[in-house]
């Protein structure tokens, strides 16, 4: 049987998104969405594509695919300290499958509601399964990558290594007992650090979200800021799930280089350290920004000795 057509897909599965939030003048259904941005602050916008069998198994739970696609993008807003406003969805599907679409749209719209962001437009095309989401937010105190300065403390917002340790379980390549559900949540339902970003917005000098791996993403801050970083691996909060799934030594490697956790890595100048401490956040200081001396980069140490992971951060090509 022929599945729903393009217009039926929009009407039947994404119409729930027609509940317009503030600033959305025209949502789904015209040539463009019409939007009224907040009078104050800047707009922050980011786009990510998830490709089947590269970023998720093609037969994964559609609601989980949708949740992950939106959460990953919201993490980019968190990294800039931007409040979510609206997003678009470009969905490419091999066939029009009403059951799949029902679950996907449920996962998407539930996630959107949870984080207070409105679906305002999109495109559906036929082709190999992929999901492209673009989020837009508003930021009065944007956190950029180029604001790290020598002497700043380097922090992570929470445990890292869980998502990459979970990946073999999610892909069905590794067995897991009671950790299975936790692994699924770690991979498909990362927590965008929006509240934390808002809390540190006035104190932090730079921030990045950890999508490619802690050391690789901190390297982006170093390159943009023309500084280097000393990281003390014994201070890095290693995810207990990563320890359980991968063992102590491998877990440390995954904490350093595994992507997909979507914690924030950020720098705070010394003058703000006491204010940061007073916030009582569950964060970890992992190192210090140092002079680049020509070549910006990240040096990692374990118990006072140079330490190197056996593999570097995730790259798409």
Summarize the annotated binding site as residue ranges. Answer: 31, 46, 48, 55, 76, 122-123, 145, 209, 211-212, 260, 314
CA distance 198 to 139: 10
Three-state secondary structure call for residue 201: coil
Which range of residues in 28-36, 152-160, 265-273, 287-295 is near its own copies by CB under 8 A? 28-36
Three-state secondary structure call for residue 100: helix
Residue numbering of the annotated binding site for Mg(2+): 31, 46, 48, 76, 123, 209, 212
Dihedral through CA 90, CA 94, CA 97, CA 100, nearest 10? -60
Cross-strand partners of 206: 267
Residue numbering of the annotated binding site for substrate: 55, 260, 314
Return the structure tokens found at 112: 């959107």
Q: Does 313 bind its own copies (CB under 8 A)?
A: no
Return the structure tokens found at 21: 């939030």
Cross-strand partners of 36: none
Least separation in angstroms between CB 299 and its own copies = 20
Which range of residues in 42-50, 58-66, 110-118, 240-248 is near its own copies by CB under 8 A? 42-50
> Measured from the CB atom, is 56 or 182 closer to its own copies?
56
Cross-strand partners of 267: 154, 206
Closest CA to 290 of 233, 221, 236: 221
Subset of residues 49 to 88 that bind its own copies, contact rule: CB under 8 A: 49-52, 54-55, 76-77, 79-80, 82, 88
Three-state secondary structure call for residue 149: coil
> Measured from the CB atom, is 145 or 243 closer to its own copies?
145
CA distance 158 to 85: 25
Least separation in angstroms between CB 109 and its own copies = 18
Positions that interact with its own copies (CB under 8 A):
3-7, 9, 25-26, 29-37, 42-52, 54-55, 76-77, 79-80, 82, 88, 90, 92-93, 96, 120-128, 130, 132, 134, 136-137, 139, 142, 144-146, 207-209, 224, 315-317
């Amino acid at each position: 049987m022929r599945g729903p057509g393009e217009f039926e897909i929009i009407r039947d599965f994404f119409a729930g998104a027609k509940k317009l939030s503030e600033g959305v003048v025209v949502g789904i259904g015209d040539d463009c969405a019409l939007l009224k941005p907040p009078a104050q602050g800047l707009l922050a916008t980011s786009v990510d594509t998830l490709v089947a069998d590269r970023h998720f198994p093609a037969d994964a739970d559609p609601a989980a695919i949708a949740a992950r696609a939106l959460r990953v993008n919201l993490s980019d807003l968190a990294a800039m300290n931007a409040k979510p406003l609206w997003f678009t969805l470009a969905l490419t599907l091999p066939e029009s499958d009403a059951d799949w679409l029902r679950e996907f749209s449920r996962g998407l719209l539930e996630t959107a509601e949870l984080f207070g962001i409105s679906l305002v437009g999109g495109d559906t095309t036929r082709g190999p399964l992929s999901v492209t989401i673009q989020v837009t937010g508003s930021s009065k105190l944007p956190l950029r990558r180029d604001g790290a300065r020598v002497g700043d403390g380097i922090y992570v917002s929470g445990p890292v290594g869980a998502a990459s340790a979970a990946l073999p379980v999610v892909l069905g390549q590794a067995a897991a007992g009671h950790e299975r559900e936790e692994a699924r949540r770690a991979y498909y339902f990362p927590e965008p650090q929006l509240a934390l970003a808002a809390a540190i917005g006035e104190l932090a000098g730079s921030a990045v979200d950890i999508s490619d791996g802690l050391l690789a993403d901190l390297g982006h801050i170093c390159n943009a800021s023309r500084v280097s970083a000393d990281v003390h691996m014994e201070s890095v909060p290693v995810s207990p799930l990563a320890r359980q799934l991968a063992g102590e030594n491998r877990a440390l490697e995954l904490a350093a280089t595994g992507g997909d956790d979507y914690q924030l890595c950020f720098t705070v100048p010394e003058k703000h350290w006491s204010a940061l401490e007073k916030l009582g956040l569950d964060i970890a200081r992992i190192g210090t920004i140092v002079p680049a001396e020509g070549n910006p980069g990240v040096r990692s140490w374990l118990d006072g000795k140079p330490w190197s992971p056996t593999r570097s951060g995730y790259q798409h090509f």
